[in-house]
A = this chain, B = another copy of it.
Amino acid sequence: MLDRALTLDELLCFALYSANNAMGRLYRPILARHGLTYPQYLVLVALWQRDEQKVNDLGAGLNLESNTLTPLLKRMETAGLLRRRRNPEDERSVIVSLSEQGRALEREAAEISRCILEASGDEVADLIELRTKIQELAGRLNRLV
């Protein structure tokens, strides 16, 4: 089956790719006003949720590894958003914690997510259902890797 040619519009992967790029383009100018990039914002969300996480903990939450996180966290440290220090209990790991500046941004985050929510659609229940479906998909895909 499915011998005929594929089209972009038939590909679930392209729908995801395109929606993710579009979301990034929407967030970028809003986040730029706070000196943030999109992945940096996600790191902050993770830290607002729970401060003092090891790099691996952040990676587990974000599905990223140190090859991506280390340089990203270094840039955020340079920007004064967080601090990185070796875990005294186990010098292999590094503990990431919010700076005052990083914590302060949380108060503006509600505003940001409201902007995005409005842009995403009008029916909140539909968005939640969509989010759940996408999370399930991500879960299935991640389980294969």
Question: Given B25, B62, B138, which contacts A15 in the complex, CB threshold below 8 Å?
Answer: B138
| A contacts with B: majority SS | helix
Residues of B within 8 A of A15 (CB): 131, 134-135, 138
Question: Given B27, B49, B135, which contacts A7 in the complex, CB threshold below 8 Å?
Answer: B49
Q: Which of chain A's residues 6-48 have a Cβ closer than 8 Å to chain B?
A: 6-23, 25-27, 38-39, 42, 45-46, 48
| CB contact under 8 A between A19 and B138, given known A6-B45, A13-B27, A113-B2 | yes
Type the 1/0 row for A113-127, where 1 means its CB is closer than 8 Å to any CB of B: 110100111000001
Q: List residues of A whose CB falls within 8 A of some B CB.
A: 2-3, 5-23, 25-27, 38-39, 42, 45-46, 48-49, 61-64, 106, 109-110, 113-114, 116, 119-121, 127, 130-131, 133-135, 137-138, 140-142, 144-145
